[in-house]
Amino acid sequence: MASRFVFAIGLSAALAVAQAPAGYKTFENKLQRVTFYYPVVFQEVPLPPTEQVEVAKYVLKEQPEEMKRVDERIFKQLKPSLTVFCFDLAAPKTPGGNRPATGEKPASGDPATLREAMEAESRVGSWAKFVERLAGWRLEDVPKKPDHFRLAWAGQWSVPGCIPVGYLVRKQVGSTVLGVYGLSLLPGEKTLQTQVTKVANGLQLVGDAANDKAEAEIDKLYASGKFRAVDFRKKARAELASGWKAVDTENYLIVHHSKNEGLVRHIARDIEAMRAFYTQVFPPVGAMDSLSIVRICRTKEEYHQYGGPPNTGGYWHPGNEELVFYDYSYTMKTMDEDERKRLEKAKVKLTDDDALLVLYHEALHQYIHYSIGEFSPHDWFNEGYGDYFSGAVVGDDGKVLRIDPSPWRIHTAKDMCEFGEGFIPLKEILEAERAVFYNPARIRFFYAGAWSFLFFMKTSKEVAAHPVWSKMLGSYFDTVKASYAEELQKAGANPDLGQKTVAGFNARRKALKTTLEGVDIPELEKVWRKWVVDMKDPWPSKRQKRK
C-alpha cells in the first residue's frame, strides 16, 4: 500500500523585487499581488482562506525594550502587529447599466454556502468600506504627509498611559488601493510609525512573472498525479504563511507551524485511520470529494491569534473549511510560570495525547459536515460523537483499536449524574439548539451530558438489549440526512444559505421527533444516569474531591 503522505515542503521566495533594508526581510510572494519587506522581529500569522482584503499579517515576537514596563498581560492583549492590505475600487455605475464592480463578486443572488457568505462579507470596493473594517479606530490625517493616518482608539481602555495606538499608510495604483497599518500600545508608538512607513515604502504591485514562477514551484509537487483535489491543494500551499509547511495525505492537507515532526507524522497517520472509522459509522450521502484542511498552530497563543475562540482547544470552522488546533506539548514547554502552576494545581499536563484528542473530536465535525450535506445535526449528536471519538486509540497499523472514555468529560459527567451538580435533563440536552447548548454558563454540562449519553448509547448492555433504544442513533442519523434532502428540494433548484439554514432546522426537528417516537424519556434518563454513576473511572485521582 502506498504511503498516505509524501512530503512537507515550504516554498522559497518567488521573486525578490527590492533589496530589503537591514533588519527587514522580503515577503515571499506565493501568488499574491504585492511584494514588500517586513521587520524580522515580527512573525507572520496565517490569514483565514476566506479573507479577501488582507495580504499578510505579522505580530511582534518578543516584548521590546521600550515596552518592558508594560505589564506582560496588557502587552499580550495588544501585541504590536502589522497588516498589509490590497483591494480594487468598485467601478462607478454608468447610466447604461449595472456592471459589476471591479474586484466585487458579480451579483447572482444570496450566497449559497457559509464560505461564500464570509468571502462576500470580507470584500470591499471603496475606501469607506475598508475603514469600516477598522472597528474601534478613528483615522486622523497626518499633517504634510498625504495618505498617512494616525489610528486613534475610540473605545474604552482601562490602562492609563498605555492606550492603543496605530498608524496607516495608503497607496493607490490605478484602481487598486494597497497599504499597511500597524497597531501597538503608546510606549511603542514611534517605533511602530517607523516600521509602518518602511514597509509602505517597499510595498508595490508585482507582475505576472512572479506569480508564474511561484505557481511553477507548486506544480512540481503534484506532477506525479497521486493526489486528488490538486487545485485546492495548490491554492492552500500558495497561501502558506512564512515558516509554515504542508503535508499531503489521501483525504487531507495538513498545514502546520509545529517543530514536533513526530506529532505531525502521527496526525497524518491517525487522521486517515479516523476518517475510515467515521465512514463505517456514518456512511456519507454521496461521494466525499471535498478535501479537508487540518491546521496545527505552534502554540496556544498563535492559535488564538489565528482566530481560535477563547476557552477552546480546537475548532472546526465550516466557513473557512478548516480544522484548527495547536501543538499542546510545545505549548506546555513554552508557557510562563503562572500558567504552568495553574495547570499543575488542576493536575493537568499538556501532551501530544491532548492534541490527538482534539484532532479526533474536531475531525468528526469536519467529516459530518460533508457527509450529510454541509449542515450540522443537533449538538448533542455532533458534540457528543466528537467527544466519543476523542477517546479513540489508534494502533501502529493505522486502525482504530478501541474507544476509551473521554478524560475531559468523564468527571463532570459523573458529578452531574451522581451529585446533581449542573445536571441537565436528557430531554433538554436532546432538544437544545446551538444558542442553548453553547450558553457559556452551562456549556461544560451540555458537553459532558452529550458525551456521556452517547458513550452510554454506544457501549452499554442496557441499550444493546433494548429493542427501541438500540435503534435510536441510527434512526436519527438516517432521518436527518433524508429530511435535509427533502427540505432542500422544497426550496428549489438553487437554495441560498438562508434557505439551507431553515432546511437544517426543520430536518433536525423532524429527525428528533422520529427518533423519540415510542421512547420513554424519563426511563431512559434514569438508566443513563445510573450507568454513568457506576461507569468505571480510569483516572480517579484526577477527579476533584468533594468536601
Look at residues 302, 228, 237 and name the one whose alpha carbon lies nearest to residue 9.
Answer: 237
pLDDT tens track for 172-210: 999 999 999 999 999 999 999 999 999 999 999 986 555
- The β-bridge relationship of strands 245-248 and 252-256 is antiparallel
| pLDDT given at position 32 | 79
Q: What 3-state class would DSSP assign to 75?
A: helix
- Quickly state the pLDDT bin for 379 (edges 50, 70, 90): very high
pLDDT tens track for 128-179: 999 999 989 999 999 999 999 999 998 888 777 789 999 999 999 999 999 9
DSSP letter, residue 438: T
Determine contact, residues 31/219, Cβ cutoff 8 Å: no
pLDDT tens track for 450-483: 999 999 999 999 999 999 999 999 999 999 999 9
Q: In one letter, which amino acid is 24?
A: Y
Average pLDDT over residues 101-123: 72
Look at residues 172, 183, 170, 180 and name the one whose alpha carbon lies nearest to residue 142.
Answer: 170
| pLDDT given at position 210 | 54
First to last CA, the chain: 56
Which of 68-77, 150-159, 209-218, 445-454 reaches the highest mean pLDDT? 445-454
Residue 13 has pLDDT above 90, yes or no: no
Cα separations in angstroms, 234 against 5, 223, 237, 480:
16, 12, 5, 34
Cα separations in angstroms, 255 against 184, 300, 302, 305:
29, 16, 14, 16
Please, what are the domains in the chain? 33-91+111-205 (3.40.1000)
Average pLDDT over residues 224-253: 92
| pLDDT given at position 518 | 93
Distance CA 336, CA 321 (A): 32
Look at residues 482, 395, 368, 387 and name the one whose alpha carbon lies nearest to residue 429.
Answer: 387
Considering only residues 383 and 107, tell me which one the structure prediction assigns the higher pLDDT: 383
Q: H/E/C letters for each residue in 175-224?
A: CEEEEEEEEEEHHHHHHHHHHHHHHHHCCEECCHHHHHHHHHHHHHHCCC
Considering only residues 492 and 538, tell me which one the structure prediction assigns the higher pLDDT: 538
pLDDT tens track for 514-527: 999 999 999 999 99
Average pLDDT over residues 9-22: 51
- Quickly state the pLDDT bin for 316 (edges 50, 70, 90): very high
pLDDT tens track for 395-442: 988 899 999 999 999 999 999 999 999 999 999 999 999 999 999 999
Residue 68 has pLDDT above 80, yes or no: yes
Q: Which three cell numbers stand for residue 127?
A: 475606501
Residue 287 has pLDDT above 80, yes or no: no
Say what percent of the chain tops pLDDT 70: 91
Average pLDDT over residues 28-54: 89
Distance CA 30, CA 26 (A): 12
Full-model pTM: 0.83
Considering only residues 220 and 471, tell me which one the structure prediction assigns the higher pLDDT: 471
The average confidence (pLDDT) of the chain is: 88
β-bridge mates for residue 323, sequence order: 294, 316
